[in-house]
């Protein structure tokens, strides 16, 4: 009797899409300004993930006690990394670009947040996707609108363009 061996096609691990927000308001030197640090972050992220889209960099006023203007942007990336590994990787990029976690809301050389993920909702002790405050932050939604206008927030079902329009309407009425 001959034994048959079933050939199983090689399976590739699933890839994930991520919408990331980037911000910086502390230069590391005269040449490494906040917009330049955002560009460096995109390059470093591109070494581990496939960068699909990058928003323009926009200047935005700070939240909290910081007085320096922020450079903000967003990017859309594809990666084999699941959310916890992506968070760890992004934190290593932040560290490499001079991020020190001293004070909440303080000036920072770089901040990279996972805003949305193709898997929908992720909740753990160290990571929440979608980002908790993404729906109310113009400095997140405006750049995100440039790279993922139709991506739907899994909590509200609204597309990024709708969230952005709501926020703008609220600002005009307020």
Calpha distance 60→45 (Å, rounded): 23
| 171/141 Cα distance (integer angstroms) | 14
Rounded CA separation 124/120 (Å): 13
The pLDDT confidence band at residue 79, using thresholds 50, 70 and 90, is: very high
Residue 146 lies in a domain: no
The structural domain count of the chain equals 1
Whether 50 is covered by a domain: the verdict is yes
Helix (H, G, I), strand (E, B) or coil at 22: strand
Q: Does the residue 46 lie in any domain?
A: yes
- CATH code: domain of residue 128: 3.30.70.560
Residue 40, SS3 per DSSP: helix
Q: Is residue 149 part of a domain?
A: no
Asked if residue 84 is part of any domain, the answer here is yes
Give the other-Cβ count within 10 Å of 161's Cβ: 15
pLDDT in tens, 8-29: 666 677 899 999 999 998 878 8
Stated length of the chain: 174
């Amino acid at each position: 009797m001959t034994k048959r061996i079933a050939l199983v096609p090689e399976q590739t691990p699933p890839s994930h899409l991520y919408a990331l927000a980037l911000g910086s308001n502390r230069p590391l030197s005269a040449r490494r300004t906040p917009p330049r640090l955002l560009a460096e972050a995109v390059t470093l992220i591109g070494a581990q993930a496939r960068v699909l889209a990058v928003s323009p960099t926009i200047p935005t006023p700070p939240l909290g006690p910081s007085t320096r203007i922020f450079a903000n942007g967003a990017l859309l990336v594809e990666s084999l990394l699941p959310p916890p590994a992506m968070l760890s990787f992004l934190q290593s990029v932040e560290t490499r670009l001079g991020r020190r976690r001293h004070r909440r809301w303080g000036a920072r050389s770089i901040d990279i947040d996972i805003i949305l993920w193709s898997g929908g909702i992720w909740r753990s002790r160290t990571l929440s996707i979608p980002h908790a405050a993404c729906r109310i932050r113009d400095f997140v939604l405006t750049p995100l609108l440039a790279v993922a206008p139709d991506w739907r927030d899994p909590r509200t079902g609204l597309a990024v363009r709708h969230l952005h329009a709501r926020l703008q309407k609220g600002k005009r009425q307020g």
